[in-house]
Copies of this chain bind each other. A is one copy, B any other.
Amino acid sequence: MKESYHHGDLRAALLEAGLDHLNRHDAETLSLRALARSVGVSATAVYRHFPDKTALVAALAREGLARLADAQKKAAAECRPSESAFAATGRAYVRFALENPALFRLTFASAPVESADEPTEAARMLRENAARRLPDGASAGHVEAEALRAWALVHGIAMLMLDGQIAADPDLVEALIPA
């Protein structure tokens, strides 16, 4: 298994190293050179796969978003019919943030989640659940507002906990996200 001049799949290796870094350190200490070093490649090789640092960060953000969506979908699927799927996905959102603080931050500090034309799977689920909480025949505007409020609530809880403003306590998460 000789070290060959060409890496094979440097792009994927860099992203993996980036995610690995975010598991243990925060996003500000993420350095292209360090990433390249950890993968065993020169600093500038990165530029064959990403135009600049923000592009690499954006790719990490996409991965973070995908993982968050996965966590939510899984939570909704595993939730017993006796409890609200809405609350379950909301709690999963906060739990993901607490378990992946750096990645979560980077995901949202980076780029808009929803490309305006094509709504995300997660966004669709969100609206459905919001509609279910309102009286039948609620206007689309009301549904949208309810959905955004729910999103903002869990996002705010996550952020305030990550920033140390309120205790990052799973029990508190339960208490704050109503069934």
Seen from chain A, the residues whose Cβ lies within 8 Å of a Cβ on chain B are: 108-109, 111-114, 141, 145, 148-149, 151-157, 159-160, 163-166, 172, 175-176
Q: How far is the CA of A109 from the CA of B104 in the complex (A)?
A: 13
Q: Which chain B residue shows the least CB distance to A94?
A: B152
Cβ of A161 to closest chain B Cβ, rounded Å: 9
* Given A112-B164, A114-B165, A152-B154, 5 new contacts (CB under 8 A): A108-B159, A111-B164, A149-B153, A151-B166, A152-B160
A/B interface sample: 8 pairs, CB < 8 A: A108-B163, A109-B163, A112-B165, A148-B172, A151-B160, A155-B156, A155-B159, A156-B156
Closest 10 CB pairs of A and B: A156-B156, A152-B156, A155-B156, A112-B164, A152-B157, A108-B163, A153-B153, A145-B175, A113-B165, A159-B159
Q: Determine which of B141, B156, B165 lies in contact with A153 in the assembled complex, contact meaning CB atoms within 8 Å.
A: B156
In the complex, which residues of chain B have a beta carbon less than 8 angstroms from the beta carbon of A113?
165
Q: How far is the CA of A176 from the CA of B154 in the complex (A)?
A: 14
In the complex, which residues of chain B have a beta carbon less than 8 angstroms from the beta carbon of A145?
175-176
Q: Determine which of B155, B157, B163, B175 lies in contact with A160 in the assembled complex, contact meaning CB atoms within 8 Å.
A: B155
Q: Which chain B residue shows the least CB distance to A157?
A: B152
In the complex, which residues of chain B have a beta carbon less than 8 angstroms from the beta carbon of A157?
148, 152, 156
Q: Determine which of B114, B159, B166 lies in contact with A148 in the assembled complex, contact meaning CB atoms within 8 Å.
A: B166
In the complex, which residues of chain B have a beta carbon less than 8 angstroms from the beta carbon of A111?
164
